[in-house]
Amino acid sequence: MKLVAIGTVALLLAGCAATPTPHDTPSPGTIEIITGLDSPWSMVRLASGSTLISERDTGTITELTPDGVLRVAAHVAGVVSGGEGGLLGLEVADGFLYAYYTAADDNRVERFALDGGAGSYSLGAGTVILDGLAKARNHDGGRIKIGPDGDLYVTVGDAGDPDRAQDLLSPNGKILRIHTDGSIPADNPFPGSPVYSYGHRNPQGIAWDDNGQLWAAEFGQDTWDEFNRIEAGGNYGWPIVEGIANRTGFIDPILQWSTDQASPSGLAFADGGFFLASLRGQRIWAIDPNGPSIVARPTLVATYGRLRDVIPGPDGTVWILTNNTDGRGDPRPGDDRIIQVPTNVLIRG
């Protein structure tokens, strides 16, 4: 994956980008997969050809069947939406669906039996495998992914209390790692704790590269959004530092953006590079992690509005989930939607 170095310049200058100027022409090879979604947050593609999508505000999991039909698969009981909370991240593995959601008193992860097949998926009995995560109207984190080690990684925001991020007794402001039954791996960096890394404000994007290295994207406050290489036990600085600080004891981000260029959410690794969905920035950042310096370039700027999630698609593509109907965007006819874009189009910009 080769990206031109000019894309790095914007990453180091705060406030250098104004409100995105709309581009109404879709990129070559773009396919509109589905329209008419309601406050979608996460999507997961299944081996059967179906895709499951979470709707934040309704607590609904919808199934997009292989032949393009959108149907309700399940309503997750106990979801209490409000602000940035609701039904958030989804993951599927070994016949189970995992859902991160906001409940009456906390954020939690529940594991459900995933019943049926393409065109008939439903949820069976559920078991809460992680709870007690403080909730708020913002900074709820919410991304969950199965790592190359088979464990479940969970991003948790500081829920509006920055001091939680440095408190190792709190699960907030962290990336957590648990077994898929909720138990704690014996080789976690802090014995008996689910904490994998800390000092995070509101991480939402996680993905692994070809070498099994974990990377994460994180919302900053007023100045810097971050793209971090995650180390077990690492302290990423919030709220003591934000962005690149060169302070002993804290791990600096590999890349940083001014907040109007990013507000990063979903992150995918495909075809040798990362693709980062941006909300306020209304763009995909295509990131090349190879070579002596890590290079990024913006693409699809303002073409589809706010972008919430991105996942690998079929045959050298990614699927991108828009997020214009959640109360913060400017919905366009057909919003929200999933679009399919070839990775080489995003790389070229």
pLDDT, mean over the chain = 93
Q: 106-149, pLDDT tens digit by residue? A: 999 999 999 999 999 999 999 999 999 999 999 999 999 999 99
Query: Residue 85's closest CA among 139, 133, 129?
Result: 139
The pLDDT of residue 186 is above 60: yes
Percent of the chain's residues with pLDDT above 70: 92
Report d(CA 45, CA 324) in Å as an integer.
Answer: 21
Q: Tell me if residue 85 falls in helix, strand or coil.
A: strand
How many residues are recorded in the chain?
349
Q: What is the CATH number assigned to the segment(s) 1-34+262-349? A: 2.120.10.30
Q: Using CB atoms within 10 Å of the CB of residue 305, give its burial: 0 to 12 exposed, 13 to 18 middle, 19+ buried.
A: buried
Report d(CA 224, CA 236) in Å as an integer.
Answer: 13
Per-domain boundaries in the chain: 1-34+262-349
**Residue carrying the six token digits 């290489």:** 229
The pLDDT of residue 24 is above 90: no
- At position 158, the amino acid (one-letter code) is D
Report d(CA 347, CA 47) in Å as an integer.
Answer: 26
Q: 236-272, pLDDT tens digit by residue? A: 999 999 999 999 999 999 999 999 999 999 999 999 9
Q: What is the pLDDT of residue 347?
A: 85
Average pLDDT over residues 73-91: 97
| Confidence class for position 291, pLDDT limits 50, 70, 90 | confident
| Confidence class for position 21, pLDDT limits 50, 70, 90 | low
Q: What is the pLDDT of residue 251?
A: 98
**Ramachandran bin of 83, using left for φ above 0, alpha for ψ from -120 to 50, beta for the remaining angles:** left
E-assigned strands of 65-139?
70-75, 87-93, 96-102, 107-115, 122-133
Query: Residue 206's closest CA among 237, 228, 233, 182?
Result: 228
Q: What is the pLDDT of residue 27?
A: 72
